[in-house]
Amino acid sequence: QKEVEQDPGPLSVPEGAIVSLNCTYSNSAFQYFMWYRQYSRKGPELLMYTYSSGNKEDGRFTAQVDKSSKYISLFIRDSQPSDSATYLCAMARRGYSTLTFGKGTMLLVSP
Amino acid sequence: DSGVTQTPKHLITATGQRVTLRCSPRSGDLSVYWYQQSLDQGLQFLIQYYNGEERAKGNILERFSAQQFPDLHSELNLSSLELGDSALYFCASSAAADSTDTQYFGPGTRLTVL
C-alpha cells in the first residue's frame, strides 16, 4: 500500500461546478498537508498549506483535513477553465523536510 | 514565476551517458530539493541540501549524485543513464530546512534517454 493514494482521474466538470479532490494516507505521523497545482509542462505551485485537522479557506479554494480518517480534501467553488490542471496532494512529518506526494488528479473544466 | 530557475529545459541523450542538471534557488533560500516525476511513480523526492550540506535523502539511485555550491546553486548529476531515467526533474527551494516552510518549484528539466 502506497503511503499516499490519489485518484488519477481525469475528472471532467462544467464551468461553475464545485470540485472535490481527495487523498488518503496511511502514515499517522503526517502533520502538514499541502495541495499543489501543476499545469502541463510546468512545475507544481503551492495552493494550500494546512497543519493538522480542520478547514482552511482561500478564495474559491477550501482545504479540509480529517486526521482520524486519514483523509484530506480540496474543494474548488465556481470552477473555471483556468483551473484545468493536475492537483497533487503532499504531506510531511513534523521536523522532516521530505514531502510525500500523491500521484495527482487531472482536472478538466469545460466552458 | 516561482523564482527558481533550472537549466536546461530539455535534454536528450543516449543510454550510458552522463548529464548534469542545474538549479538556482530563489534569492535568500538556503534549501534545495531535487525531485523526479514520472508517469509511473509520480513526484518522488530524491535529495535535499541545506546551505551546502546534504540534509535528507530519498529514493536516489547510486548512479545519481548532487551537490550545492557556496553560491547556493545546485547540480544533479545522473550517470550510466538508462531508459527508465527518462523523466521530469524538478528542483525546489525553501528558506528553512524542514517541511514547515513552503517549497517553491522550478519549471523542470525534461530528460529523454534514447
Asked if the C-beta of B27 comes within 8 angstroms of chain A's C-beta atoms, the answer is no
| Residue B107 to residue A43, Cβ atoms within 8 A | yes
| Sequence-separated contacts (24+) of B27-31 with Cβ below 8 Å | B27/B3, B28/B95, B29/B72, B29/B93, B29/B94, B29/B95, B29/B104, B30/B72, B30/B95, B30/B96, B30/B97, B31/A97, B31/B55, B31/B93, B31/B94, B31/B95, B31/B96, B31/B97, B31/B101, B31/B103
How far B23 CA lies from chain A's nearest CA (Å)?
A: 13
pLDDT of residue B113: 97
pLDDT single digits (tens) B48-85: 999 999 999 998 999 999 999 999 999 999 999 999 99
pLDDT digits (tens, 9 = 90+) for B8-61: 999 999 999 999 999 999 999 999 999 999 988 889 999 999 999 999 999 899
pLDDT tens digit string along A46-92? Answer: 999 998 788 999 999 999 999 999 999 999 999 999 999 999 999 99
> What is the rounded distance in angstroms from the CA atom of residue A84 to the CA atom of residue A80?
8
Query: Which of the four pLDDT bands, split at 50, 70 and 90, describes residue B98?
Result: confident
Strands A61-66 and A71-76: antiparallel
Q: B42: which chain A residues are within 8 Å (Cβ-Cβ)?
A: 88, 101-104
Q: Note whether B102 contacts A: Cβ–Cβ < 8 A.
A: yes
- Interface contacts (A, B; CB < 8 Å): 62
User: Would an 8 Å CB–CB cutoff place A97 in contact with chain B?
Assistant: yes
* Dist CA B20 CA B74 (whole Å): 10
- Selected residue of B5, B35, B99, B110 to mutate for chain A interface (largest A Cβ count, 10 A): B99
Which of chain A's residues have a Cβ under 8 Å away from the Cβ of B48?
97-98
